[in-house]
Amino acid sequence: MRPVMEVASDMGLDPEAVIPQGRFKAKVQLDAVRQGRPRGKLVLVTGMTPTRAGEGKTTTTVGLTQAMGHLGHQVIATLREPSLGPIFGIKGGGTGTGKATVEPQDEINIHFTGDAHAVGSAHNLLAALTDNAAQRGTVPGLTPEGVTWRRVTDVEDRALRTIVTGLGGPNNAPVRETGFDIVTASEVMAILALSAGLADLRERLSRTVVGLSGDGRPVTADDVGAVGSMMSLLRYAIQPNLVQTAEGQPVLIHTGPFGNIAHGCSSVVADRLALGYADYVITEAGFGADLGFEKFMHIKARSSSLEPSAVVLVATVRAVKMHGGVRLRDLDTPNEEAVERGMSNVDHLVRMVRSFGLPIVVAINRFPSDTPGEIAAVRARAEAAGARAAVESRVVVEGGEGGVDLAKAVVEAASGDAPKVSYMYPLEASIQDKVLALAQRV
Amino acid sequence: MRPVMEVASDMGLDPEAVIPQGRFKAKVQLDAVRQGRPRGKLVLVTGMTPTRAGEGKTTTTVGLTQAMGHLGHQVIATLREPSLGPIFGIKGGGTGTGKATVEPQDEINIHFTGDAHAVGSAHNLLAALTDNAAQRGTVPGLTPEGVTWRRVTDVEDRALRTIVTGLGGPNNAPVRETGFDIVTASEVMAILALSAGLADLRERLSRTVVGLSGDGRPVTADDVGAVGSMMSLLRYAIQPNLVQTAEGQPVLIHTGPFGNIAHGCSSVVADRLALGYADYVITEAGFGADLGFEKFMHIKARSSSLEPSAVVLVATVRAVKMHGGVRLRDLDTPNEEAVERGMSNVDHLVRMVRSFGLPIVVAINRFPSDTPGEIAAVRARAEAAGARAAVESRVVVEGGEGGVDLAKAVVEAASGDAPKVSYMYPLEASIQDKVLALAQRV
Amino acid sequence: MRPVMEVASDMGLDPEAVIPQGRFKAKVQLDAVRQGRPRGKLVLVTGMTPTRAGEGKTTTTVGLTQAMGHLGHQVIATLREPSLGPIFGIKGGGTGTGKATVEPQDEINIHFTGDAHAVGSAHNLLAALTDNAAQRGTVPGLTPEGVTWRRVTDVEDRALRTIVTGLGGPNNAPVRETGFDIVTASEVMAILALSAGLADLRERLSRTVVGLSGDGRPVTADDVGAVGSMMSLLRYAIQPNLVQTAEGQPVLIHTGPFGNIAHGCSSVVADRLALGYADYVITEAGFGADLGFEKFMHIKARSSSLEPSAVVLVATVRAVKMHGGVRLRDLDTPNEEAVERGMSNVDHLVRMVRSFGLPIVVAINRFPSDTPGEIAAVRARAEAAGARAAVESRVVVEGGEGGVDLAKAVVEAASGDAPKVSYMYPLEASIQDKVLALAQRV
Amino acid sequence: MRPVMEVASDMGLDPEAVIPQGRFKAKVQLDAVRQGRPRGKLVLVTGMTPTRAGEGKTTTTVGLTQAMGHLGHQVIATLREPSLGPIFGIKGGGTGTGKATVEPQDEINIHFTGDAHAVGSAHNLLAALTDNAAQRGTVPGLTPEGVTWRRVTDVEDRALRTIVTGLGGPNNAPVRETGFDIVTASEVMAILALSAGLADLRERLSRTVVGLSGDGRPVTADDVGAVGSMMSLLRYAIQPNLVQTAEGQPVLIHTGPFGNIAHGCSSVVADRLALGYADYVITEAGFGADLGFEKFMHIKARSSSLEPSAVVLVATVRAVKMHGGVRLRDLDTPNEEAVERGMSNVDHLVRMVRSFGLPIVVAINRFPSDTPGEIAAVRARAEAAGARAAVESRVVVEGGEGGVDLAKAVVEAASGDAPKVSYMYPLEASIQDKVLALAQRV
């Protein structure tokens, strides 16, 4: 690994803005974000509808970044923080595979730079202050029954999902039925991911609803007086974290929002920071393309002017075959018919991306068991559906070199003027119209 | 502030062993601990029995360190991590006052280097795995009723003190009455503070009791298979954290154990590290001298061979007057009679320290309202009780320069051969004999 | 009202077997039940599928009893105990209307002879003993998690539906998520209703399942040693309660089982007792005919040899119109078309009863707003569907005299040899076959 | 046993006022209570400070009643209802021993006439209505946190002592930490025991406090609209229950209040009823004389003008010896010294009763192991302390005949003018003065 200060320096960051966290991680101060028209182009990596066969979205994102570097482009990847599986010994889930990884893996997977802890503390401080306010009656109309804000934990703990708090007498009150969610599902995490800066973060936290008063009026974090303390707890968590690929390209890993309310992507500030220093910023959408791509476009891109210049859809022959009806244990057996059947999922996703007006490249993440016939079938169908190209990616085995073809196709797709994005519904549409539009197109 | 790498370098640390955490904090790897006979002498700072008047133990520790530096001694302070008051906006509680502070204060007070978060995650992971084991019956004889391990939180939250977990059906079970303590009271924090290294930490964690089986046999963290994951979470938390005084002397802040089971001091590894690089290591005992000094000697010093060469007892005229019966609002009024009455507390503590065979210096932490007569009365009585000296300390207003007299007295007291410590009871005494001995002497 | 001892004496009971409970209620000892072939014929009263318009099943049962007496027949009604609405001030729900009532209404509705209290005590004693056994480990394999037995209350109390018990430390344990049901839904009530006598009651109680051991084996009331105490609590509750109609005919009101597990009828012992002393015993099925008639036949009649000689289906023009789509507020408007549409419900029920091989009479419970045309339509359709007769009943306004036509039709229908009942499925059928058969026919 | 109607008739009750409950129990209507100056004299039976040796208070009360009958006096005993031990198989606890019993024992011990069930239903109905009101906000200022009213059960059930109610969502709310007490400790039971009639009962129920509003104002059963329904549930429970001794004298058993708030005696209406029909009414105070006698005098006698004409203090040689330091297993060994020591308890109680201005007779409840010397010692000391007489009672073995000497002594003590009672404190004394006075005298 290269020292993180060297990675920062090559990337063009003012060393004053880079705060080392160990030798290989650093926080980047928000004043390093460049204002005005971004220098770089955003490439969004998304995946097929997930199956148990896996598809390798993060791995392809990292490998494409390495390949771009190989071609001499100034490139930065922006990824979300992995969630907590690693604590129980599952390695590498969120940091790539084989020769396409982000480093230092074990530090990224456990604690990292403490952002998730900060989110948890801020979330739970708000819970404590809200319960206090409800118990003491300091917010007019707010009673314990009206509180909706739950707590979060960074450990998967089934016994905390539904609990009763406040037992042991009035000093410990209020007695309430409530529970803990996992910290990645915290609304504070979602807010952190979308905030443009400290002022925006404070504004969004202030509006966070923690309960309803007796007459149905929302009670906010501001009403219970929690915002100042939450800001103290989050002031460093809003700074993007700088690490590197296994081949030394800069990677910003920042925020890991999950759950229903979240878009599942890395942060807006990380993308903006990256776009000021690189020609290409490779980022990854959460979930599968049907859900995650749409959330990226409508929740993140639209509100933050972070529209992609090209989209990469990651597919594997194995996942295509699984969509074609093959069982997990039979995936190693060549089966072109199943590929043909399963490609309907890729077809659909390619068309959906194109309906936004965006160019799309299909990355075929190569597995040893794939046959040339199967690969060819995927490529043919993908291109027939409207993909600019469908290209094999061998980054797991070969690292950046194995992604050169893919990188070239992506550069080609992203060339020319920025695409004019066609959203599914106008921003001011009613909820009903939005849902209708989504149902028809996704 | 000086860059932390510079502080580390002046202190004599190999830069390879110093891991920066931002510009002004660093972790020090355990291989930097020097083996063999320590170079330095340990000075233990303790205080009067606490009153609401305060006495300034941390401030005196820091100011004495600065003063030692002023005199040209190689000196390091070792302090415990402040607990969580600061999150709610109370500044400086654990980092000194005026010109005698540890820096960077706000980063030390909020999150610091994440050690408390790591302790909380490890503690709560053990809770989750214990509940799982009890629910699934994987540890013979362990049922949910037998579990005694609670959970911890880093936010003061009354509603979590007593809770019922596991509601909502068998998937979320076990239903148990349990609760959360504050993370500083975690037994994992106490273990971290006493561990000599990673192997010792693993050994102590393995033995941690999480419940009783039906036949009364203790069930341990090892039995529920939690130790490996806990070690992953704690591997960096066991490294001492390096910061500095406002005048640039190195300070190691590490672990903050509180509660009944804990000794309330900074860690054994921090003291050992410091003693290898400095002539004088100034450390602070938790609580008041009656409780904290005794805990330091019997729990920490004895088991870790960290015996002090001298003891400093911090007193203030105000606290002495409060012990003499003066109310808080009347402390500014001169009252030598109350000083005489209140000095019985100082007398008692000086004699107790001397009964261990240790030289003691009384530091009179100067306040503007103190009169020369009051100061003189404290000094006379303290010396009559057996203190080597009783010296004014003006470090709050003057920084290290205001502590030069104190530093000289301490150097004088600590000179000569290491004192032969006389413990209150033999290590192998029964619990009853220990309690009896303590009651008679403390 | 006639003194209850006089009612008993007219009915032919040995005064030694009658235990007065106040002046107008009495318990009848079980040795008064006559063995051998019953003297009387059982007439089962059931109703249309319930609507908010009401249909008057209990009122018709009571009025028919009064009318039978008017005609000089020896007759006894057997009814279930009303449940607890009356406590909150709703009068007469379970004791008839107008001139067709059971007396003394207010004593029947509140406490009655204490049977429901006895059931509640027995049920809750079993709960306490089960929790004790689970906590102390006296039944091998039974842990608190395995307990399925809940508690009951005789007061509608939403806050007790889901509770956590056993808080406040190990003395009060076990901590469990459980709750209270209303006492009429107690399995002990259902058992009491079906028991043939004390020995049978003891046998059924012994088999009651209170939980599962760790290996899935059922744990019973016998296993936790509760049966003897439960029998002490229930020894008088198993004796039928004697009261009278407003016109003096004997009525046995005994047990009031409701809820999923129960058949919803009065007790087996009350029916048997009555059949030994009367020519006609008029009894009422719970719920509507679709559910309640079927439950009566398959759960009660079949296992207890209490097969009816005739069935009365209570209908009202208003309920028929409601089934025909008329809103509640429009029921007073004549609407023969709606009657035609709504009669599909009566048609269906008449055919179902006849598929059991039983003669059926439809009782049209007359309301002031009914028009002759509507009445005629109901009668025509009912007879076309296979009813022996469809007869107006005016018992609400006229008492027994208003039911004379109905009584005559019922006597006619019940004359001749006992019908040969054709059940829907053989007793030994599998659960699946039973469900299938029911779905096809009901 | 004599038919209860015969007992009632001999006692002089109008048969119209007697409502049979089975053959051997009856309720007596309140209009049978005679107004004006009572005919009879009240004799209060109390006991030594309780030990595990037992003293036989109820047995002596019953035996004295039988002996009074033997002497030809018109006599009635008034006792409280036994509490619920019998349900678990402990016989006879509250109904006497040997030949001095109240009959029918087993019916008295289980359910009796349902009064405790009625109290439980009324108590729990109030709980349900209070929770409803708190949840719906129908009583201004009453929130779930303000509710103090708990629930009751007639089964000893440790797991219900502390519970959380209202789980499972807002429909079941409010979520509260509360619990169940045993029904004898119900405040409704205490109210029933003290009420002079239906109007007084209604008035007392109305004032019952169920919680506090936010501003500290008490919220009552009247505020939550529960009083009407509670009256319906309690209308028969307020009628005294008539049974008989083993020798046929009438006994009124009515109400069984226990716990801190209760006086532990039978009801005011039972005493008043009895005093109108008998020359002597023998009643029993709850607890030991120190607590129970004082409660009888200050709570019951004073407020209800039910002042005793004489007091009987029940003592046994065994209990005296236990107060003298003898262990339970050594009580059969003669030990006059221990008797002398233990008599300090009897001395004290005799003096306390006399300080009220009341004549006192000590009844020595004879055991086979008592020696003449021990008996003599008790007698001498008791008379020296101021008892009118100390007389052997052999009612356990001989029935009424064995109590003739005692009865004669009681008649003698109760002869002459009614004693002028001297209370410990004026009715209008402050709480502090009352406590002070009690501490000095009891």
Listed residue (A225, A134, A122) closest to A173, CA to CA: A134
pLDDT mean over C406-424: 90
CA distance A276 to A30: 12
Those residues with Cβ within 8 angstroms of residue A67's Cβ, 6 or more apart along the chain or in another chain? A395, A400, A401, A402, A403, A404, A406, A407
D128: amino acid identity, one letter = A
Say whether pLDDT at A144 is over 80.
yes
Enumerate neighbours of C (3 or more CB pairs within 8 A): B, D
Minimal Cβ distance to A175: which of D137, D164, D170: D164
Minimal Cβ distance to D111: which of C22, C114, C166: C114
Q: Residue B181 burial by CB count (10 A; 0-12/13-18/19+): exposed, middle or buried?
A: middle
Provide the percentage of residues in chain A whose pLDDT is more than 90: 74
Indicate the pairing of strand D241-245 with strand D100-103: antiparallel
- pLDDT one-digit tens code per residue, C256-271: 887 666 778 899 999 9
Using CA coordinates, name the residue in chain D closest to A175: D176
Tokens, residue D227: 């009083």
* Cis-peptide, bond into residue B174, ω within 30° of zero: yes
Residue C90 banded pLDDT, cuts 50, 70, 90: very low
Tokens, residue B87: 């999150």
Helix (H, G, I), strand (E, B) or coil at D151: strand
Minimal Cβ distance to D153: which of C88, C124, C163: C124
Enumerate neighbours of B (3 or more CB pairs within 8 A): A, C
Listed residue (A291, A316, A312, A305) closest to A369, CA to CA: A316
Listed residue (A405, A360, A408, A403) closest to A383, CA to CA: A360
> How far is A257 from chain D, CA to nearest CA, in Å?
27
Residues in chain C within 8 Å Cβ distance of B137: 214
Give the C-side interface with B, CB within 8 Å. 135, 137, 143-145, 164, 166-170, 173-177, 214
Residue A327 is predicted with a pLDDT of 93
Say whether pLDDT at D5 is over 70.
yes
Residues in chain A within 8 Å Cβ distance of B110: 232-233
The answer to whether the beta carbons of residues C44 and C283 sit under 8 Å apart is yes
Residue B37 is predicted with a pLDDT of 82
Tokens, residue B153: 């939180």
CA distance A61 to A395: 10
> How far is D51 from chain C, CA to nearest CA, in Å?
24
Residues in chain B within 8 Å Cβ distance of C174: 145
Residue D84 is predicted with a pLDDT of 60
Residue-level pLDDT, tens digit, chain B, 442 residues:
999 999 999 999 999 999 999 999 999 999 999 988 888 999 999 999 888 777 899 999 999 999 999 999 999 999 999 876 444 444 446 899 999 999 999 899 889 999 999 999 999 999 999 999 998 889 998 988 899 999 999 988 999 999 999 998 888 888 999 999 999 899 999 999 999 999 999 999 999 999 999 888 999 999 999 999 999 999 999 999 999 999 999 999 999 887 666 778 899 999 999 999 999 999 998 777 667 888 888 888 887 888 999 999 999 999 999 999 999 999 999 999 999 999 999 999 999 999 999 999 999 999 999 999 999 999 999 999 999 999 999 999 999 999 999 999 999 999 988 888 888 777 777 777 776 776 676 6
Residue with tokens 């182009």: A41
Residue C248 is predicted with a pLDDT of 97
Residue D235 is predicted with a pLDDT of 94
Provide the percentage of residues in chain D whose pLDDT is more than 70: 95
> How far is A206 from chain D, CA to nearest CA, in Å?
27
| Residue C22 half-sphere exposure toward CB, CA atoms < 13 A | 21
Residues in chain B within 8 Å Cβ distance of C144: 144-145, 175
Whether A22 sits inside 8 A of B21 (CB atoms) is: yes
Chain C interface, best mutation among B135, B136, B145, by max C CB count within 10 A: B145
Listed residue (D77, D94, D38, D104) closest to D272, CA to CA: D38
Residues in chain C within 8 Å Cβ distance of B173: 145
Enumerate neighbours of A (3 or more CB pairs within 8 A): B, D
Say whether pLDDT at A254 is over 70.
yes
Q: Which of A88-97, C351-360, D267-276, D295-304 has the lowest mean pLDDT?
A: A88-97
CA distance C245 to C399: 10
Q: Which of C296-300, D195-199, D233-237 has the lowest mean pLDDT?
A: C296-300
Those residues with Cβ within 8 angstroms of residue D216's Cβ, 6 or more apart along the chain or in another chain? none
Residues in chain B, overall count: 442
Q: Which residues are B183's β-sheet partners?
A: none
Say whether pLDDT at C255 is over 80.
yes
Residues in chain C within 8 Å Cβ distance of B164: 164, 167, 175
How far is residue A36 from each of residues A39, A204, A272, measured CA to CA in Å?
9, 23, 10
Listed residue (B73, B62, B393) closest to B247, CA to CA: B62
Helix (H) / strand (E) element for C65: namely: helix C57-70
- pLDDT one-digit tens code per residue, D157-192: 999 999 999 998 888 888 999 999 999 999 999 999
B21: amino acid identity, one letter = Q
Q: Which of B77-86, B387-396, D83-92, D373-382 has the lowest mean pLDDT?
A: D83-92
Residue C259 is predicted with a pLDDT of 66
- pLDDT one-digit tens code per residue, C43-53: 999 999 888 77
Tokens, residue D144: 């779930």
Residue D88 banded pLDDT, cuts 50, 70, 90: very low
Minimal Cβ distance to D175: which of A168, A170, A175: A175
> How far is D186 from chain A, CA to nearest CA, in Å?
21
Q: Which of B112-121, D215-224, D239-248, D289-298 has the lowest mean pLDDT?
A: D289-298
Secondary structure letter of residue D21 according to DSSP: B
The answer to whether the beta carbons of residues C274 and C78 sit under 8 Å apart is yes
Q: Which of C183-187, C383-387, D268-272 has the lowest mean pLDDT?
A: C183-187
Helix (H, G, I), strand (E, B) or coil at A265: coil
Q: Which of B347-351, C218-222, D80-84, D401-405 has the lowest mean pLDDT?
A: D80-84
CA distance A223 to B26: 38
CA distance A253 to B288: 45
CB crowding C119-133: b at 16 or more within 10 Å, else e = bbbbbbbbbbbbbbb
The answer to whether the beta carbons of residues B320 and B341 sit under 8 Å apart is no
Tokens, residue A312: 């990469």
> How far is B165 from chain C, CA to nearest CA, in Å?
10
- How many contacts (CB atoms, under 8 Å) link C and D? 144
Tokens, residue D354: 């006399």
Q: How far is CA C383 from the centre of its chain?
A: 27
Residue D441 is predicted with a pLDDT of 67
Residues in chain A within 8 Å Cβ distance of B163: 163-167
CA distance A47 to A306: 19
Give the A-side interface with D, CB within 8 Å. 135, 137, 143-145, 164, 166-170, 173-177, 214
Tokens, residue A362: 């299909």
CA distance A353 to C337: 58
Using CA coordinates, name the residue in chain B closest to A123: B155
Helix (H) / strand (E) element for A27: namely: strand A26-28
Whether B165 sits inside 8 A of A165 (CB atoms) is: no
Residues in chain B within 8 Å Cβ distance of A132: 158
Whether C111 sits inside 8 A of D117 (CB atoms) is: yes
The model's pTM is: 0.85
Residues in chain C, overall count: 442
Residue B87 is predicted with a pLDDT of 46
Chain A interface, best mutation among D177, D178, D215, by max A CB count within 10 A: D177
DSSP string, A337-398: HHHHHHHHHHHHHHHHHHHTT--EEEEEE--TT--HHHHHHHHHHHHHTT-SEEEEE-HHHH
Q: Where are the alpha helices (DSSP H) in D71-197?
A: 105-109, 115-136, 187-194
Whether A135 sits inside 8 A of D144 (CB atoms) is: no
Q: Residue C297 burial by CB count (10 A; 0-12/13-18/19+): exposed, middle or buried?
A: buried
CB crowding B395-418: b at 16 or more within 10 Å, else e = bbebbbebbbebbbbbbebbeeee
Q: Which residues are A314's β-sheet partners?
A: A47, A363
pLDDT mean over D96-102: 94
Residues in chain A within 8 Å Cβ distance of D177: 166-169, 175
Residue C87 banded pLDDT, cuts 50, 70, 90: very low
Whether D145 sits inside 8 A of A177 (CB atoms) is: no
CA distance C191 to C200: 9
CA distance B163 to B176: 8
> How far is A2 from chain B, CA to nearest CA, in Å?
15
Listed residue (B44, B54, B48) closest to B96, CA to CA: B54
Residue B200 is predicted with a pLDDT of 97
> How far is A7 from chain D, CA to nearest CA, in Å?
53
Residue A409 banded pLDDT, cuts 50, 70, 90: very high
pLDDT mean over C172-195: 92
- pLDDT one-digit tens code per residue, C281-311: 999 987 776 678 888 888 888 878 889 999 9
Residue C91 banded pLDDT, cuts 50, 70, 90: very low
Secondary structure letter of residue C113 according to DSSP: T
Average pLDDT, chain A: 91
Chain B interface, best mutation among C145, C148, C212, by max B CB count within 10 A: C145
A117: amino acid identity, one letter = H
Residue B349 is predicted with a pLDDT of 93
Residue B425 is predicted with a pLDDT of 77
Chain D interface, best mutation among A176, A177, A215, by max D CB count within 10 A: A177
Tokens, residue D435: 């406590």
Indicate the pairing of strand C75-79 with strand C360-365: unpaired
CA distance D352 to B439: 44
Torsion sign across C-alpha atoms B126, B131, B132, B134: positive
Residue D86 is predicted with a pLDDT of 41
Helix (H, G, I), strand (E, B) or coil at A326: coil
Residue A377 banded pLDDT, cuts 50, 70, 90: very high
Q: Which of A295-309, B220-234, C372-386, D82-96 has the lowest mean pLDDT?
A: D82-96
How far is residue A432 from each of residues A299, A439, C391, measured CA to CA in Å?
17, 11, 55
Say whether pLDDT at A202 is over 80.
yes
Using CA coordinates, name the residue in chain C closest to B214: C137
The answer to whether the beta carbons of residues A45 and A56 sit under 8 Å apart is no
| Residue B72 half-sphere exposure toward CB, CA atoms < 13 A | 0
Average pLDDT, chain C: 91
Residue A234 is predicted with a pLDDT of 96
Q: Residue A321 burial by CB count (10 A; 0-12/13-18/19+): exposed, middle or buried?
A: buried
- pLDDT one-digit tens code per residue, A316-332: 999 999 999 999 999 99
Whether B158 sits inside 8 A of A177 (CB atoms) is: no
